[in-house]
Structure 1
Amino acid sequence: MTNTQPRKEISSDFLSQYEHICALQGLVPLPAVRTSLKMGTLGFNADRLRLLDWVPLLSALRINKTLPCVSIRSTFQPSLQDTVAEKHKSYARRRIPAVTTKEVTIQLCKAIKGCLTISTALTNLEFQGILLRGRDIMFLAKGLNKSTSLTHLSLAFCPIGDVGLDILCQNIKSLTTLKTVNFTACNLTWRAAKHMSGVLKYQAIKRHEEVWTANLRNRNPDLEGMGGLKRVTFNSNPLVGDQGAHAFADSICDNLWLRALDLQLCGISSGGAKALLDSLESNSTMVILDIRKNPLVDHTLTRAIIEKLIHNGKSTKSEYKWLSSSSLKDFFRSKQKRRTIILGSGRKGKATIRIGIPSKKSVVTGRRYVPSKEFFAPDPLPSGVPWRTAERAKRYRSFPLIKSRDIPC
């Protein structure tokens, strides 16, 4: 869909449904949704939506059949340093997005399930930084199992864990339309690598059966046209390790269909890299095996893997490219940027407000950020000692220091 007219028709169809539901419920359509639909896709930052904003949006998404791409992202990162006693205070100081609640995530996955079930146009589904729980993943997996058009699935920075990936693998292994999956920074370990390796083995067996059937009928099998995964991304999962690398190496030995495997920042050492290099000896179709950003891998092994991949890529022109490295730190770095709002102009110039993260030297007291110097008394003691220190020394204002030798026995 390259021209502008079909995109406008797609966006207008979903927009008309969304606006109609908003009118029935007495709500105002979100400008962010209108802006994303100009390109014929639905993509927005979920952190900016209130609880009431989700109701018409999910209702329209559940019955929509024309959107080719749905991308929902969240950059909210709860503080990991807050103790249980301080959680209520920290929550009072900041607004928690509605997308982090159980009610919103489960309704979101139900809406996606309904869209995947009835839509023949949805090809790309991307969740970024969304907190998906076990029940949410089950609804999402049921929708994936019934999809007939999805080609790309991304759950980057969604902490689904090994159990969540196992549920997804059980439902996508028979999904022939799905070509690429992205599980970057999903809190995965070597167990998840084994689950994904099982999917690759299962699909390889099915494809070998199709090739065998085509040979029996004196037909030339179309290897490129066969369904199944062509790219698997496992970047930024440091607990995959060598056990996960060995699991992937076992699955790509005789795999003639997988083209790219991304394993950046996966805690792989030279032992796992050697297993992957050995698996490439019997694989002449893979063009990308990315083990960069693994400091325990010897440079000679990395060079040998790249040389083998270059040799494989000479025979065919691949559509898959090397990905830029990304981590969880880079994902949340965008939150540190400051914004400047111009209120207006007058005789003395423009009035501006700078919004952003406070500096490290400031501390939190109550509802607002104040500099550290406000912790000292406005009228300090002549000696310059802060009042907290004076209190610890039993030195009260306007009274001399009481020493132990002055106390009568």
Structure 2
Amino acid sequence: MIGSVATRKKNSPKFHAYYEDLCELHNVMPLRMITSQKQKDVLDICADRIKFDEFFPITKALACDRSLCFIAIRSRCQGKYVHHNFYGKRRSNVRHRPLIHTDFGMNVVINALKKCLMRTTVLTHLILEGLYFTKNNLSLLCTGLSNCSSIQNISFNQSIIGDDGCQLICDAVKKLRNVHSLNISACEIGQSGGYCISQLLKYQQLERYSETWKEALRYRIVDVDRMPGIRRVSINNNTHLGDAGLMYLVECLKDDLWLKAIDLQNCGITNQGAQEILKLLKVNTILTVVDIRNNHDVNGDLLNAIKKQLAENSSRNVEDKQEYKWMTLDASLEEQSHSAASKTHPYFMYSNQERSLHQKGVANGQAARSTSFWAQESCGSSYLPHQLNVELKQHVNHEAKIQELTEELNKMHLEIKKVKEERDRYKKELQEMKADYNNHILLNVDTVHAINEAFDKLTTYLKRGRNGESENT
């Protein structure tokens, strides 16, 4: 039974309740991936499988929402372009692409997100993964983002934004005091994007310094760790960043006392950039994670030296080490392979007949070729069978345990080195004490022998004198 207008108006600030009302109104079955999250105030959806009729209840309920604390919109089928010729109900133009990868679909989603961000006061996590943003869409989203004071974690992982989009995001985020982490991995960011990120960190750095100065004038104890602002930046898999973009970040972080972790896996860094990072870590002891793994042009000795310096910095900040963990290397490699494979995913490349052959398991040559290609290309974990998916998760957990054990082993090596240094120092002090003792001895060996000989002569003389007196008597 369709609810009244008053009921729908009452439920409009609550996403899940309003979504179910809208589904009843438009005669659409509610999606299970949305209704299963009803008790958690969470919206985490993969937009690739959402049909045209199912799209409007989601976006309309999202535009009026004030209850969600976690919003994630993901796409596994990444494309380098957006179909601009899709409007209204002309679905035949995008037969082999999801609705989220059309100009019409992105406009609807971005407008809904903008309204939600400008209204909500409880949203803390925003994840937009694998989407393609035009400049207009991203500027609309950043307008809403700059007015959301409650947001804490922002992720554009594997979304195509470029250097211009990175500038828009940094300009929107720099005045948000509650933002704790920013993830712009695999977003095709280059040297200009590195400059924009450095300007973001500099702006927040100046704001914190001014706040510290105000607190010091009032004779208060300034707690640096409790000050708001960005603590972690992830820029993994941006191969065009290079040493030139890295230098902007290094110069910015030399005087920074707040950023704790920066991830730079597979960013085109060479030995020159790694040496600059090593110099930075000797100056900035606040950083606990600087991840430059998976950069093939970096020498292994330099990488070990950076890890050693980070271990020394982490030993001073034990609480930060427990809070800011290293990302697993397998995760970044999986993202890289997934981004390469999902551009031509077979689900959207093949015709309906070939997909039906694959689903039915028909044992002919065409179906066999389709199945083999499917198995080779579907590198993302969401397309793997259940058993392989479980094995992949076990492998990732195993690698994480190995990494923890290697960190503990490095700790033990450092402790052993300290013990050896103390032992050498004690040996040196003992030798110095022996030398001082020998210098303070007044009689040498020859003198002692001479004294002993004189004493023996005296005793023999006295014995002879006693024997003579006894004979006379």
Same-fold call, TM cutoff 0.5:
yes
1:328 maps to what in 2?
A: 336
- TM-aligned CA deviation for residue 14 of structure 1: 2.3
**Aligned-partner residue type, residue 291 of structure 1:** I
Give a deviation string over 1:85-125, Cα, whole Å, max 9, x none: xxxxxx98963110011111122111111111111111000
**Aligned-partner residue type, residue 359 of structure 1:** S
1:212 maps to what in 2?
A: 213
Give a deviation string over 1:248-282, Cα, whole Å, max 9, x none: 10111010100000000000001111112212222
CA distance in 2, matches of 1:156, 1:194: 19
**Does residue 230 of the first structure (1) align with residue 243 of the second (2)?**
no
- TM-aligned CA deviation for residue 175 of structure 1: 0.8
Gaps (5+ residues) in structure 2? 1-10, 82-91, 348-358, 375-473
CA distance in 1, matches of 2:246, 2:340: 28
CA distance in 2, matches of 1:360, 1:143: 42
Give a deviation string over 1:346-374, Cα, whole Å, max 9, x none: xxxxx96489954359xxxxxxxxxxxxx
2:152–2:180 Cα contact (<8 Å) kept = yes
CA distance in 2, matches of 1:216, 1:94: 65
Give a deviation string over 1:15-45, Cα, whole Å, max 9, x none: 2110112222332222221123354311111
**Aligned-partner residue type, residue 125 of structure 1:** L
CA distance in 1, matches of 2:267, 2:340: 19
Secondary structure of the 2:262 match is: strand
Secondary structure of the 2:37 match is: helix
Give a deviation string over 1:305-346, Cα, whole Å, max 9, x none: 112211121222121110123133235658679xxxxxxxxx
2:128–2:157 Cα contact (<8 Å) kept = yes
- TM-aligned CA deviation for residue 235 of structure 1: 0.3
2:15–2:64 Cα contact (<8 Å) kept = no
Count of residue pairs the alignment pairs up: 329
For 1:341-360, list aligned pairs within 5 A.
353=361, 357-360=370-373
CA RMSD of aligned residues (A): 2.6
For 1:44-63, list aligned pairs within 5 A.
44-63=45-64
2:23 maps to what in 1?
A: 22
2:239–2:267 Cα contact (<8 Å) kept = yes
- Identity of matched residues, %: 30
Secondary structure of the 2:338 match is: helix
Give a deviation string over 1:366-395, Cα, whole Å, max 9, x none: xxxxxxxxxxxxxxxxxxxxxxxxxxxxxx
2:143–2:172 Cα contact (<8 Å) kept = yes
CA distance in 2, matches of 1:359, 1:301: 41
Secondary structure of the 1:224 match is: helix
1:72–1:127 Cα contact (<8 Å) kept = yes
With over 3 angstroms needed to count, the CA separation of the structure-2 counterparts of 1:283 and 1:166, relative to structure 1, is: same
1:230–1:260 Cα contact (<8 Å) kept = yes
For 1:156-175, list aligned pairs within 5 A.
156-175=157-176
Secondary structure of the 1:359 match is: helix
CA distance in 2, matches of 1:220, 1:330: 48
CA distance in 1, matches of 2:138, 2:121: 21
Gaps (5+ residues) in structure 1? 1-9, 81-90, 338-350, 362-409
Secondary structure of the 2:36 match is: helix
CA distance in 1, matches of 2:263, 2:29: 42
1:145–1:175 Cα contact (<8 Å) kept = yes
Task: Name the one with the larger strand percent.
Answer: 1
**Aligned-partner residue type, residue 34 of structure 2:** V
1:75–1:332 Cα contact (<8 Å) kept = no
**Aligned-partner residue type, residue 43 of structure 1:** D
1:123 maps to what in 2?
A: 124
Task: Name the one with the larger helix percent.
Answer: 2
Secondary structure of the 1:300 match is: helix
CA distance in 1, matches of 2:273, 2:266: 13
- Scaled by the length of structure 2, the TM-score of the pair is 0.65
- TM-aligned CA deviation for residue 13 of structure 1: 3.9
CA distance in 2, matches of 1:331, 1:262: 18
Give a deviation string over 1:157-214, Cα, whole Å, max 9, x none: 1010000111111111111111101111101101101100110011111111111111
**Aligned-partner residue type, residue 202 of structure 1:** Y
Secondary structure of the 2:316 match is: coil
- TM-aligned CA deviation for residue 68 of structure 1: 0.9
2:138 maps to what in 1?
A: 137
For 1:1-400, list aligned pairs within 5 A.
13-78=14-79, 95-316=96-317, 317-318=319-320, 319-325=323-329, 326=332, 327-331=335-339, 353=361, 357-360=370-373
CA distance in 2, matches of 1:216, 1:78: 54
Give a deviation string over 1:70-93, Cα, whole Å, max 9, x none: 11111114499xxxxxxxxxx989
With over 3 angstroms needed to count, the CA separation of the structure-2 counterparts of 1:109 and 1:94, relative to structure 1, is: closer
With over 3 angstroms needed to count, the CA separation of the structure-2 counterparts of 1:285 and 1:275, relative to structure 1, is: same
Q: Which deviates more from structure 2 when the two are superposed, residues 23-32 or residues 50-59?
A: 23-32
**Aligned-partner residue type, residue 336 of structure 2:** L
Secondary structure of the 1:177 match is: coil
With over 3 angstroms needed to count, the CA separation of the structure-2 counterparts of 1:250 and 1:108, relative to structure 1, is: same
2:236–2:263 Cα contact (<8 Å) kept = yes
2:416 maps to what in 1?
A: none
Secondary structure of the 1:314 match is: helix
CA distance in 1, matches of 2:113, 2:328: 29
**Aligned-partner residue type, residue 208 of structure 1:** Y
Secondary structure of the 1:44 match is: strand
CA distance in 2, matches of 1:102, 1:79: 13
**Aligned-partner residue type, residue 330 of structure 1:** H
1:232–1:262 Cα contact (<8 Å) kept = yes
2:41–2:67 Cα contact (<8 Å) kept = no
